[in-house]
Structure 1
Amino acid sequence: MKLAIMQPTFNPWLGYFDLIDYVDEFVFLDTVQLARRSWQVRNRLKINNKEYMFSLPIKKEKSRDETILKDTRISFENYDFISKINTLLLKNYKKTKYFNELQEKILNILSYKTEYLCEYNINFIKEVSKLLDINTSFSKSSSLENLEGNKGDLILNICLNKSCKEYISALGSKEYLNKYLEKFKKNNIDIFYQDYKHPTYNQIGENFISQLGILDLLFNEGLEASKQIILKGRYFVNN
């Protein structure tokens, strides 16, 4: 069984969905601290031929060190972010080939009603996965009992709970996971790393901008082509 564990992010990039498609089960790590100005709360769109970072407004109810991701709430008092992103998409993506075909589907996903950031992001990821015909199983770390430890120990405990034999990690986690290799080996769990090679695709406007959120790919290439484009970047390496 191949398992991946990632924080639920907003409008994730292509590599995130390739990782979901590659594994048997994908665990949303929702029991860690909120990291402000992170992919948990923002991601890139292409606006006026430039990279634009769109952020979700969150309530500042506790200090960052005390705020757990699953408990973070969206602030609807600051501004109507659903109307804002819909206006941005309409203004900047309406001339893409598949905008009219996908606008209603995407707006329905973006209009999902919940007060919690984590649930909003998870719904977005699940619904886009359905559009892409990705049938991986999903779960949340908060649904598991007796999880202990930090970083590598936490990841190992989730792997043991799920009885996986292969843990598939983002390449950026390699440095800290190297410290836990012996523990994983003792439990007969192999670690592989995703070294995603971002593909190019037909993109509206001048100059291709890489590593934007998934919405850019969907509007430019449509559902059928998007899945194949995502898979073109697939590359995994053993530890």
Structure 2
Amino acid sequence: MGKNKLKLAIMQPTFNPWIGYFDLIDYVDEFVFLDTVQLAKRSWQVRNKLKVNNKEYMFSLPIKKEKSRDETILKDVKLSFDNYDFSLKLNSLILRNYKKARYFSELEEKIFNILSYKTEYLCEYNINFIKEISKLLNINTNFSLSSNLKNIQGNKGDLILNICINKSCSEYISALGSKDYLYKYLKKFNMKNIDIVYQYYKHPIYNQVGENFIYQLGILDLLFNEGLESSKEIMLKGRYFIDC
């Protein structure tokens, strides 16, 4: 256990994740998409931020309400196309608000192809987005799904620990937001010789179209404004991790 020095991160697949999400992917050896938990209300799985008219704007993906959200497992959530094709609306919104960004014309076709990916499942859509953006950023981390792991049970910290054990990792790299509940499981992680490391991402400032810099927008904002060559370098400037 832990001899292979594997750094592992486990996160739910979110929509248009912020810069820190991709820095976490780049930092670890393997990134597990946690698709076997319940869909949370008003979660980042279905919405994220763009800069629209110089203000923070939250774009949401429409999902089908087939049963109570408290009973819906993330991997089973379906996108809704009943009223409109959200990808067309999203592409139009981006065109209107980012066409003056320095690298928009260079990336327009690549990004719009990613956003137009066809699937009926929310998780599949988000995972495809994350993997394709990772390729553009030359991130070569291995990806896997928690739904493909056998006999993984537990809630919160126990679930994370059991995935770490399954993957034989030596370090679990966690987003800072999980610190409040993970401290209760430190002894269990220590017993399995797994260290917990927290990401304290320091958001860099970059050239951004329009007035007033807005922090923590989705990754598309960085890409359109700074281009592929500079985006990863800018992303790495905010990297900061600390041992538990």
TM range (shorter): over 0.9
Q: Output the CA distance in 2 between the equivalents of 1:35 and 1:120.
A: 17
TM superposition shift of 1:79: 1.8
Equivalences, count: 239
Whether the aligned pair in 2 keeps the contact of 1:44 and 1:54 (CA below 8 Å) is yes
Equivalent position of 1:5 in the other structure: 10
Equivalent position of 2:239 in the other structure: 234
Q: Output the CA distance in 2 between the equivalents of 1:113 and 1:64.
A: 23
Q: Output the CA distance in 2 between the equivalents of 1:223 and 1:35.
A: 32
Equivalent position of 2:21 in the other structure: 16
Which of 56, 60, 63 is equivalent to 1:51? 56
Which of 204, 218, 234 is equivalent to 1:213? 218
List aligned pairs for 1:20-169, cutoff 5 A: 20-169=25-174
Q: Output the CA distance in 2 between the equivalents of 1:211 and 1:113.
A: 27
Q: Output the CA distance in 1 between the equivalents of 2:33 and 2:239.
A: 21
Q: Output the CA distance in 2 between the equivalents of 1:130 and 1:18.
A: 13
Q: Output the CA distance in 2 between the equivalents of 1:91 and 1:111.
A: 17
Q: Output the CA distance in 1 between the equivalents of 2:35 and 2:177.
A: 19
Equivalent position of 2:196 in the other structure: 191
Equivalent position of 1:222 in the other structure: 227
TM superposition shift of 1:78: 2.5
Which of 180, 189, 205 is equivalent to 2:185? 180
Deviations 1:37-74 (A, max 9, x none): 11000000000000000000000001011100000000
User: What SS is found at the alignment partner of 2:91?
Assistant: helix
Q: Which runs of 5+ in 1 are unaligned?
A: none
Q: Output the CA distance in 2 between the equivalents of 1:224 and 1:70.
A: 33
TM-score where L is the length of structure 2: 0.97
Q: Output the CA distance in 1 between the equivalents of 2:132 and 2:17.
A: 12
> Which residue type is aligned with residue 207 of structure 2?
N
Deviations 1:182-218 (A, max 9, x none): 0000000000000000000000000000000000000
> Which residue type is aligned with residue 214 of structure 1?
I
> Which residue type is aligned with residue 116 of structure 2?
S
Overall identity of the aligned pairs, in %: 80
Equivalent position of 2:3 in the other structure: none
Pairwise CA RMSD of aligned residues?
0.5
> Which residue type is aligned with residue 73 of structure 2?
I
User: What SS is found at the alignment partner of 1:204?
Assistant: coil
User: What SS is found at the alignment partner of 1:206?
Assistant: coil
When structure 1 is superposed on structure 2, of 78-87 and 10-19 the one drifting more is 78-87
> Which residue type is aligned with residue 135 of structure 1?
N
Whether the aligned pair in 2 keeps the contact of 1:57 and 1:78 (CA below 8 Å) is no
Whether the aligned pair in 2 keeps the contact of 1:8 and 1:30 (CA below 8 Å) is yes
Q: Which runs of 5+ in 2 are unaligned?
A: 1-5
